[in-house]
Structure 1
Amino acid sequence: MGASSPTGNSFRPRLTQDEKTAETRRRLLDAAIACLIERGYANTTTSEIAERAGLSRGAQLYHFPKKEELLTCAVEHLFELMFGEMKEKVSRLTNENDRRAVAIDLLWEIANGRLATAWLELVAASRTDSYLRESVSAANGRMAEFIDQSFKELFPRPDSAGADYELIPQIVFLILEAMALQGKTMNPKLTARVLDALKTVMP
């Protein structure tokens, strides 16, 4: 038997070209998100993204010739990561006695997480970047749909609910997002009071 024949645990199937392409793109998108978190949108460059991904500048340009294209694809990648995180956290609520309090705590945890930091950078940048705004708006819409559906499953509409009952989860999420944007500049006592108040608003 030739020495070149793979045996035992040393054998690794070769990736197809499509798999290699997908892996390279994923590395670039992960690196873009890391840059947004650590350096902010204004200081995120394609050169640093390529370096963080362990790729050459040429490889980065091959997959994403323009910074705008790279960052709009990063919006979709970030959404999928945030969506997965939110689904995992929402799944914890199924057997909780006081689901509304736990729901607020979990949403606040998400709003202050690393992925949310990257998201806020993109949202702020989209205010003056029409190319980016379209992707951010689409991701916002998909997130709103997920929040609505989860809310309906976890908190069935009571008979006494008013006409704007369905707006409650969106209002709560927007408040938490705005508070997260304030970061450490917001008075912690006020933050605690608002969180407690939101727990009484939830049905």
Structure 2
Amino acid sequence: MGASSTNFRPRLTQDEKTAETRRRLLDAAIECLIERGYSNTTTSEIAERAGLSRGAQLYHFPKKEELLTGAVEHLFDLMFGEMKEKVSRLTNENDRRAMAIDLLWETFNGRMASAWIELVVASRTDSHLQASVSAANDRITEFINRSFQELFPRSAGSSAFHELIPHIVCLTLEGMALEGMTLNGELTTKILTALKTYKL
């Protein structure tokens, strides 16, 4: 008797195979960044984690910088896809801003944010990474403008500075997350409470 139709899987096209192989390599690169840090991430380990040969890795990403700049874009899509999904959960309740800050704080303390920090720090001395990280930051700015301005509405007569508040909030949370466990817990709570309740 032939195989059940429920077990039938259509064969991937060559383009689909290529996309899947690249995704596996980029996912593995992000895991390496999270677990080993930028300086200890090697293309050999990335290939091994992806379950691919060194030759397959070199075919898709001949140079380490190409693989890691690709990881920047992939990481952005993963992080902000997750953030968009979280933002979509927000309701029109009065505490919407507080909920949004909790979700942002959760994101900035997540595993993928650890990989992002590794790439940002490394980009200081790596021109290839610097260009990719800068482009990702431009997309972050666009996302914040589109998604968070309404959480900090401008009142009549407010200054142009007010438009920057969503960005200041996000940068504050990102900086606090970078401090990690070294940041005083009481101070963290006070800052988060102030961001949620301060009358703008």
TM-score over 0.5 for the alignment? yes
Question: Is the 2:26–2:74 Cα contact (8 Å) retained in structure 1?
Answer: yes
Question: Is the 2:144–2:166 Cα contact (8 Å) retained in structure 1?
Answer: yes
1:165 aligns with 2:189: no
Compute the TM-score of the two structures, normalised by the length of structure 1. Answer: 0.93
Matches within 5 A, 1:119-130: 119-130=116-127
Residue 158 of structure 2 aligns with an amino acid whose one-letter code is: A
Partner residue of 2:110?
A: 113
3-state SS in 2 of match to 1:65: coil
Measure, in 2, the Cα distance between the counterparts of 1:71 and 1:52. Answer: 15
| Residue identity (%) | 75
How far the C-alpha of 1:156 sits from its partner, in A, is 3.6
Residue 119 of structure 1 aligns with an amino acid whose one-letter code is: W
Cα deviation, 1:47-68, whole Å, max 9, x if unaligned, reads 1100110001111011000000
Q: Which residue, 66, 69, 82 being the options, matches 1:69?
A: 66
Q: In the superposition, relative to structure 1, how do residues 106 and 202 fare at CA in structure 2: closer, same or farther (>3 Å)?
A: farther
Question: Is the 2:79–2:112 Cα contact (8 Å) retained in structure 1?
Answer: yes
Q: Which residue, 182, 185, 194 being the options, matches 1:185?
A: 182
1:22 aligns with 2:25: no
Compute the TM-score of the two structures, normalised by the length of structure 2. Answer: 0.94
Residue 59 of structure 2 aligns with an amino acid whose one-letter code is: Y
Kindly tell me the number of residue pairs found equivalent between the two proteins. 200
Moved more, 186-195 or 16-25: 186-195
Question: Is the 1:78–1:115 Cα contact (8 Å) retained in structure 2?
Answer: yes
Measure, in 1, the Cα distance between the counterparts of 2:64 and 2:77. Answer: 20
How far the C-alpha of 1:202 sits from its partner, in A, is 6.6
Question: Is the 2:176–2:183 Cα contact (8 Å) retained in structure 1?
Answer: yes
3-state SS in 1 of match to 2:155: coil
Q: Which residue, 148, 152, 155 being the options, matches 1:151?
A: 148
**C-alpha RMSD of matched pairs (Å):** 1.5
Measure, in 1, the Cα distance between the counterparts of 2:60 and 2:198. Answer: 47
Task: Structure 2: give runs of 5+ residues left out of the alignment.
Answer: none
Measure, in 2, the Cα distance between the counterparts of 1:187 and 1:7. Answer: 59
Measure, in 1, the Cα distance between the counterparts of 2:85 and 2:11. Answer: 32
Q: Which residue, 137, 141, 155 being the options, matches 1:140?
A: 137
Task: Structure 1: give runs of 5+ residues left out of the alignment.
Answer: none
1:10 aligns with 2:11: no
Measure, in 2, the Cα distance between the counterparts of 1:56 and 1:75. Answer: 22
Q: Which residue, 84, 94, 98 being the options, matches 2:95?
A: 98
Moved more, 18-27 or 5-14: 5-14
How far the C-alpha of 1:198 sits from its partner, in A, is 1.4
How far the C-alpha of 1:104 sits from its partner, in A, is 1.2
Measure, in 1, the Cα distance between the counterparts of 2:113 and 2:49. Answer: 20
Residue 42 of structure 2 aligns with an amino acid whose one-letter code is: T
Partner residue of 2:50?
A: 53
Measure, in 2, the Cα distance between the counterparts of 1:10 and 1:85. Answer: 31
